[in-house]
Amino acid sequence: MAHFAKIENGIVTNVLVVPDEQEHRGQEYLNELGLEGTWIQTSYNANIRNKFAGIGDEYFDLEDIFRSPSPFDSWIWNAEDLTWEAPTPKPNDGQRYRWDEEYTSWISVEPEAE
């Protein structure tokens, strides 16, 4: 099965399955069914266009990729790795952390030792 994402103003508004025999003409097939619009193929295993498109994701025509919205306002898009990154690296000391957007920093979630 092939999956196609409907794009409106650069945002994914729907994702539908297209039969394998129609994959080569997915947009045309969907338009013939009365589902007018721009449909871009997406890959369930992320083999194409960076990730499987979800409703609310963005589609970037020039890069030909789908991208999830930023998890936090302060995070920065890394165009080379195609991922969102915190403005400060997560500590790598074996502890568990969560991002605190108010302070734009990583906060340890490890229980304090008694």
| Residue 89: HSE in the Cβ half-sphere, 13 Å Cα cutoff | 3
Residue 113 counted as domain residue: no
Q: Give the E-state strand segments of 1-114 in sequence order.
A: 2-8, 11-18, 38-42, 58-60, 65-67, 76-78, 83-85, 97-100, 105-108
pLDDT tops 80 at residue 1 = yes
Q: What is the mean pLDDT of residues 2-31?
A: 97
Helix (H, G, I), strand (E, B) or coil at 30: helix
Residue 104 counted as domain residue: yes
Q: What is the percentage of the chain residues whose pLDDT exceeds 70?
A: 96
CA distances from 34 to 23, 50, 91 (A): 17, 28, 51
Let me know whether 8 and 63 are in one domain: yes
Let me know whether 16 and 53 are in one domain: yes
- Taking only the tens place, the pLDDT of each residue in 31-85 is 999 999 999 999 988 889 999 999 999 999 999 999 999 999 999 999 999 999 9
Q: Give me the domain span that covers residue 37.
A: 2-67
